[in-house]
A and B are shown apart, each in its own frame.
Chain A
Amino acid sequence: MSNNLKSESRKLNFFYGNVHALKNVSMPIELNKVTALIGPSGCGKTTYLRCFNRMHDLYPHNRYEGEIILYPDNINIISSGIDPIEVRMRISMVFQKPNPFPKSIYENVAYGLRVRGVNNRKILAEKVEKSLRGAALWDEIKDRLDKPAFDLSGGQQQRLCIARALATDPEILLFDEPTSALDPIATSKIEELIIELKKKVTILIVTHNMQQAARISDWTGFMMLGELIEFDRTDKIFTAPSEKLTEDYITGRFG
């Protein structure tokens, strides 16, 4: 898989002030595949994910060490010479709790484009439709694009957030436990969507739900206490893990 990488972290360390939250995490992210991160609460998987769009830069006393290389440009996206805004324009994120803006459905999806200075109505309308179709939401809401996003159900709101992230054609899409606030039906819709999306975009997903990782991912990383314990093909991790810790975790002996 080495020549088909979209990104890769090399000896990534991360600090919240004095707290050493990520320890030497080196992990590849394959192009147009789903890579899942599992592990007990507080293991650093969300911290790891949020390094990829420099979300940690929003808060004081946070510090990165090491590299996250983005291919094909071969740039280290956490180096201080790279503008976090540029990184966020190329790598989008979907959050744990659906967080649409208190604006219309249309404006939610168009927001990323407006940020980039797109004001042409025709282009906006096309992109909004394309993204909503991409997020499997178009047919449900095409007649009420001007209605407030908060009128949608939780699952629809999360798909709206996915559409919002898709509108700007990101290279990588980050998912931070995207279904933890949703019911099983909404969850399965999002899972189908993620499998569909990987044809076009590389996906990195953090999940609390091991079955979810097994269902949708191609690669899985198991993290504990800020370290990457094991990284392998998903079927291998879930059938024949090489580490004792991984086995204990996925068989439910702790976590």
Chain B
Amino acid sequence: MEDIKKRIRITKFLDYIFAIVGLLSTLVGLVLLFTLFIDLFIDGAPRLSYKFMASFPSRFPEEAGILSAWVGTFLVMLVTAFAAIPLGIAAGIYLEEYAKKNWLTNIIEINISNLAGVPSIVYGLLALGLFVYFFKFGESILTGGLTLALLILPMVIIATREAIRAIPNSIREASYALGATKWQTVQWHIIPYSTGGILTGIIIGLSRAIGETAPIITVGALTFIAFLPSSPITSEFPFMSFKWLSDPFTVMPIQMFNWVSRPQAGFHVNAAAAGIILLLMTLLMNGFAIYIRYKFRKRIKW
């Protein structure tokens, strides 16, 4: 009896030890991140203003702003989304619902997971060769957007496949048993029931792409741009233009990098302020992803 009591005391003590180790590990991560946020905020907050958002870069830190950077980021993301979403979803659906399971699809599967882990600078080199030199898209928004699309394509494919795999097989069988074809099943069941998971994956992919710097510099984004790309909306028929696709650009992280590497303290403040904006953009996207996941989970339960 005494033995058992002693044993229980020892194991309970171990329990206690691990609880403390776990708590400390959690805190290290959280506290560091939180400090980083606070530091960034204290540094950058004084520069945040409408003027900062609406001004072009300048030689004088007080007059410099991030207008060309956030417009560039927005347009590049637009291209990325338009390229990566349809390709990624279509590939994911094909691999899950259509492709036969054999050694070839196994190899493809392994390689897609590997592609998701390839360093982004490598994508930059690939894109430089493919989009800039081969297709001659130039150092443009189109090139930048497509480069980031390549980068997040594996993530979109993986998210799509995960979301599709969560659909129970009994639902597919129910659909096929009523005489549905593959496409009818995909169109009426697979896509609607996996939308939540797919959208979440897309947004997480995009929020990674928004902070990428290396591949964008590789394909030739500029660091100092004092003009905006041509407007996508025009006053004359057909009221839209795609000339902006071929315009040079910069994006938020590049603008930040540019400012950080200057000697004047004023520019460091600018970099911190731009960091706050970039962080807010990412948080907003992630928050939206969580909201979508919550909303779709509520509607569908198995």
Chain A residues proximal to chain B, CB less than 8 Å: 53, 55, 58, 60, 85-86, 88-89, 92-93, 95, 97, 99-102, 111-112, 114-116, 150, 161, 164-165, 168
Contact = CB atoms under 8 A, between A and B. Distances in A.
Given A95-B174, A102-B299, A102-B300, A112 B193 contact: no
Contacts of B168: 99
B177 A93 contact: yes
Interface string B149-185: 0000000000000000000101111111111110010
Contacts of A93: 177
B177 A92 contact: yes
B179 A116 contact: yes
A168 B171 contact: no
A55 B180 CA distance: 12
Contacts of A111: 175, 178, 180, 188
17 contacts: A55-B173, A55-B176, A85-B179, A85-B181, A92-B177, A95-B170, A95-B177, A97-B170, A99-B168, A99-B171, A101-B171, A101-B175, A102-B171, A111-B180, A115-B180, A116-B179, A150-B301
Interface string B289-302: 00000000001111
A233 to B, nearest CB: 29
Given A111-B188, A112-B179, 14 more contacts: A55-B173, A55-B177, A85-B179, A85-B181, A88-B178, A92-B178, A95-B174, A102-B171, A111-B175, A114-B188, A115-B180, A116-B179, A150-B301, A164-B174
Chain B at the A interface: SS class:
helix
A88 B299 contact: no
Contacts of B180: 85, 111, 115
B178 to A, nearest CB: 4
Contact of A165 (B171, B178, B184, B302): B178
A250 B67 CA distance: 82
Given A55-B177, A88-B178, A99 B193 contact: no
A35 B160 CA distance: 43
A115 B173 contact: no
A189 B173 CA distance: 24
Contacts of A101: 171, 174-175, 189
Contacts of B174: 95, 99-101, 161, 164
B136 interface: no
B187 to A, nearest CB: 11
B9 interface: no
A107 B301 CA distance: 17
Interface residues of B, number: 23
A112 B171 CA distance: 14
B101 interface: yes
A233 B114 CA distance: 61
Given A115-B178, A115-B180, A58 B300 contact: no
Nearest to B180: A115
B100 interface: yes
B167 to A, nearest CB: 9
Given A99-B171, A102-B193, A150-B301, A53 B184 contact: no
A112 B178 contact: yes
Nearest to B167: A102
A116 B181 CA distance: 10
B176 A164 contact: no
B178 A58 contact: no
A59 B287 CA distance: 39
Contacts of B170: 95, 97, 99
Contact of A95 (B173, B189, B301): B173
Contacts of B301: 102, 150
Contacts of A116: 179
Contacts of A85: 179-181
Nearest to B178: A112
Nearest to B301: A150
B101 A88 contact: no
B87 to A, nearest CB: 26
A115 B184 contact: yes
A168 B174 CA distance: 14
B171 A60 contact: no
Contacts of B181: 85
Given A95-B173, A115-B184, A164 B178 contact: yes
Nearest to A107: B188
Given A95-B170, A99-B170, A60 B179 contact: no
A203 B181 CA distance: 25
A6 to B, nearest CB: 18
A68 to B, nearest CB: 16
Nearest to A150: B301
B177 A88 contact: yes
B197 to A, nearest CB: 14
